[in-house]
């Protein structure tokens, strides 16, 4: 039987993410640049602490996280990447929260106003199938907009760059 959790992610930048906030160290510098921030993201994806992807536009997105169930067969696009759970939790968040953590050393994820976007999950290595159900060039006609399907003990290749994001 699958376990489904639903989150609303306010996205003002066209990127959302899944992060092990216990392992991810987001601080870069008060003067971070796009290049230094995305270098941090690439390092974190290589360490299996973060998955970040493009959404196609700014929106309030509905994201379902499914643990122990099949990924949706019908979707507009999908990408599969690895994420490690070190302390029993993951966090669904926007680029905006990641950029705040990059700029200010005292910002910890999850930010207090985003604490409801955290969910419990047994420690281990997971494959995360990120499925965007509809073309973002058109107004969504159904919810959720994204389905993240987590499968335990699968070692997918780390992402080199955020899927569906154009610099």
Domains along the chain with CATH numbers: 3-152 (2.60.34.30)
Q: Let me know: does 133 contact 72? Beta carbons within 8 Å.
A: yes
**What is the model's pLDDT at position 104?**
97
H or E stretch covering 42:
helix 34-46
Query: 51 falls in which pLDDT band (50, 70, 90)?
Result: very high
| Digit-coded pLDDT (tens) for 140-160 | 888 999 999 999 977 789 999
**What is the model's pLDDT at position 139?**
86
**What is the model's pLDDT at position 167?**
73
Query: 20 falls in which pLDDT band (50, 70, 90)?
Result: very high
| Digit-coded pLDDT (tens) for 92-114 | 999 999 999 999 999 999 999 99
């Amino acid at each position: 039987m699958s376990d489904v959790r639903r989150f609303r992610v306010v996205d003002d930048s066209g990127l959302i993410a899944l992060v092990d906030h216990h392992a991810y160290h987001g601080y870069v510098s008060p003067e971070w640049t796009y290049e230094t921030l995305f270098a941090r993201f690439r390092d974190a994806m290589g360490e299996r602490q973060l998955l970040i992807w493009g959404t196609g536009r700014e929106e309030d997105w509905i994201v379902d996280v499914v643990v122990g169930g099949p990924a949706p067969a019908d979707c507009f696009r999908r990408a599969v990447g690895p994420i490690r759970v070190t302390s029993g939790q993951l966090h669904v968040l926007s680029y905006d929260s990641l950029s705040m953590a990059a700029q200010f050393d005292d910002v910890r994820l999850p930010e207090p106003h985003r604490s409801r976007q955290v969910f419990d999950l047994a420690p281990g290595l997971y494959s995360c199938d990120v499925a965007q159900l509809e073309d973002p060039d058109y107004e969504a006609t159904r919810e959720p907009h994204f389905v993240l399907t987590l499968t335990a003990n699968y070692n997918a290749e780390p992402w080199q760059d955020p899927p569906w994001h154009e610099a």
